[in-house]
Amino acid sequence: MSHPPRATLALAVAAALLLASACDRSPASGGRRRAGGPTNRLVNAVLSDPKTFNPVLVTDATSSDVLRPIFEGLVDTDVLTTLPRPQLAERWEWSADGKICTFHLRRDVHWHDGRPLRAADVVFTFDAVFDEKVPNSARFTLTVAGQPVRPEAVDEHTVRFVLPQPFAPFLSAVGIGILPEHILGHALREGRFAETWGIDTPPEQLVGTGPYRLRRYESAQYLEYARNDGYWRRDDAGERLPYLERRVTLIVPEQNAASLRFLDGQTHYYAPRPEEIADLQDRAAQLGIVVAEVGVDSGTLFIAFNRNPRRYADGDPRLAWFTDRRFLTALAHAVDKQGMIDTIYYGFGEPAVAYISPANPVFHNPDLKDHAYDLELAARLLDEAGYVDRDGDGFREDPQGNRIEFGLVTNAGNLLRERMCSILQDDWTRLGLKINYRPQTFQSLVERLTTTFDWDAVIMGFTGSLDPNNGANLLRSSGNLHLWNPAQKTPATPWEAEIDRLLDEGAAELDLEKRRRAYFRIQAILHEELPLIETVRQRQAMAYSADLRAFVPTVWGLYEPERIRIAAPAGAAFRE
């Protein structure tokens, strides 16, 4: 398929902008403007509303993104070096045997309500993580040799973690957002913690230590943040961070609309879809923007099939299909990755083979051989496995005579994933399968994946992590995001049991080469058993206003966003 001519794309955008210019603008929507704009407010957009304002309960990327300016952990990751660095803890030290880590808290940190950060807040946060009434993902990355990793308060500004054995991913796992015990302690003790700080909570009740406070939230419209004037960080000259007074995150649930908001100057930065990158690069000077290619996606975008027995009634044949490696291998050979790269990614993509991205070269397994796209081979594999058209109606049946028919879902509004589903539906239909494709809102899709389990096949993406153990909630059989069959009391299959064992080995091993071998084997198992069929990783870019200063995008996130400034264009008139 040929690419749309760039002139055609430009004309389409221009026409859409005429429509966008007629739309009313809320006070929170003003960002970068061609003729100038406010220099004290940074504006971006996300595709959906957050699901929670409680950082312990977060399971989706949007909630994580919108809470990042509000809450901080003991440590965070330097996205340039990919190494852990101090945050609420000014330093830490390890015991000689690698089993005790002692954190020394900063003494200049205060909660948004003015109360000082205390060791009791750290202890309380980890108590919440391991409370049986509090569903969360963090507990799966903070369990060592089957035991929860809990801190103890040494004094008001010192906490100590005693581990049952050395735990290599500890500094990566321990950086969860710390919460105020003086505000949420009663809720935890009374068993109400999981219901606190939902998205109906008045913003002024959310109290963190981060550079911004949430000032206003309008569902399906925007979140507005105000600078925390008592924030502990300062620049080298002693000026208090963050530099910008406000941030605004628009909620724009459709990618075309998000693109138009950026082109119209209503947002300062935007991660363009592959088909937009070349056009934006050509028009960068005209638009007053910079377009930076930042690298291959650090996460994973995959097809998963539901193997959860709770989904299917007795006798439902779909569970047998989705646990048949022959069936899954055939479908893996019917995923046209190069076609997706050419027609959906416009060349800005790479075939994904291993679960861990090449953006993480330490743990990425480069030795796996992809399932080559070959519909003839896929058809032959289905024939050999007994999935053939027995009644001549054009659709295959399994050996028991059940027609191969199942649903395929992804989140509506993500046009790239929707187009992927269309390609899969077309190819799998050509194989003689009946595919019922119905996109869902992101909120509805997450509910299906985590609560009702009402799905058959899904295209879903997970964010990447520098330490593979941070994906334990997906990889471990007992994990709450072990998508194909979550929260197993015991592993349902021998290969899932092996992954559980390898996760334990990889976490306990301090020798990097031995850790690599464990995670290489995990990726090989996933590649063989196919609970996840990898698709494509985008070569990512970031488009942003040329007025931004100290704006440094990476595949792992923005580098020190509290240092961003917005330059005032010469002769501009600013609008609040």
DSSP 499-515: HHHHHHHHHH---HHHH
Contact 387, 398 (CB under 8 A): yes
For range 185-213, the mean pLDDT: 97
* CATH 3.40.190.10 domain residues, the chain: 6-47+211-268+547-566
Residue type at 232 in one-letter notation = W
User: Which residues of the chain does CATH 3.10.105.10 include?
Assistant: 300-537
State residue 572's pLDDT score.
38
Choice among 21-30, 178-187, 198-207 with the minimum mean pLDDT: 21-30
89, 75 Cβ separation under 8 angstroms = yes
Rounded mean pLDDT, 88-113: 97
Q: What is the per-residue pLDDT for 571?
A: 42
Average pLDDT of 543-572?
89
Q: Is 165 left (phi over 0), alpha (psi -120 to 50) or beta?
A: beta
- Give the model's pLDDT for residue 145: 86
Write down the pLDDT at residue 429: 98
pLDDT score of 329 more than 60: yes
User: If pLDDT is split at 50, 70 and 90, which confidence band does 315 have?
Assistant: confident
Q: pTM of this prediction? A: 0.79
Question: For residue 18, is pLDDT > 50?
Answer: no
Question: Where does CATH 3.90.76.10 sit in the chain?
Answer: 55-59+69-195
Q: Is the pLDDT of residue 92 over 50?
A: yes
- For residue 573, name the pLDDT band (cuts at 50, 70, 90): very low
Burial grade of 285 (CB within 10 A; 0-12, 13-18, 19 or more): exposed
pLDDT single digits (tens) 374-433: 999 999 999 999 999 999 999 999 999 999 999 999 999 888 999 999 999 999 999 999
pLDDT at res. 12? 35
Mean pLDDT of the chain: 91
Q: What is the structure's pLDDT at 37?
A: 61
Other CB atoms within a 10 A radius of the CB of residue 107 amount to 11
Helix (H) or strand (E) holding 37: none
Distance between CA atoms of 40 and 42, rounded to whole angstroms?
7
Question: What is the mean predicted confidence (pLDDT) over 456-484?
Answer: 93
Q: How many Cβ atoms are within 10 Å of 326's Cβ, its own excluded?
A: 13
Q: Give me the residues paired with residue 136 across strands.
A: none
Using pLDDT thresholds of 50, 70 and 90, give the confidence band for residue 240. very high
CA 317 to mean position of chain CA atoms: 32
Query: pLDDT tier at 146 (50, 70, 90 boundaries)?
Result: confident
Confidence of residue 59 (pLDDT cuts 50, 70, 90): confident
Percent of the chain with pLDDT over 70: 92
Give yes or no for residue 24 having a pLDDT over 70.
Answer: no
- DSSP for 130-191, written as a single string: T-TTS--SHHHHSEETTEE--EEEEETTEEEEE-SS--TTHHHHS-PPP--HHHHHHHHHTT
- Which of 3.90.76.10, 3.40.630.30, 3.40.50.360, 1.10.260.40 is the CATH number of 55-59+69-195? 3.90.76.10
Mean pLDDT, residues 218-241: 97
Confidence at residue 10, expressed as pLDDT on a 0 to 100 scale: 33
CATH fold of 300-537, please? Dipeptide-binding Protein; domain 3 (3.10.105)
Q: Contacts by 185-190 with C-beta closer than 8 Å and gap 24+? A: 185/124, 188/124, 188/127, 188/128, 188/131, 188/134
Tokens 């390890």 sit on residue:
94
Per-residue pLDDT reduced to its tens digit, 32-53? 454 346 789 999 999 999 999 9
Class at the top of the CATH hierarchy for domain 6-47+211-268+547-566: alpha beta
Which of 105-109, 409-413, 471-475 holds the top average pLDDT?
105-109
Which distant-in-sequence residues (6+ apart) come within 8 Å of 352 by Cβ? 300, 301, 302, 337, 534, 535, 536, 537
Could you tell me what percent of the chain has a pLDDT over 90? 85
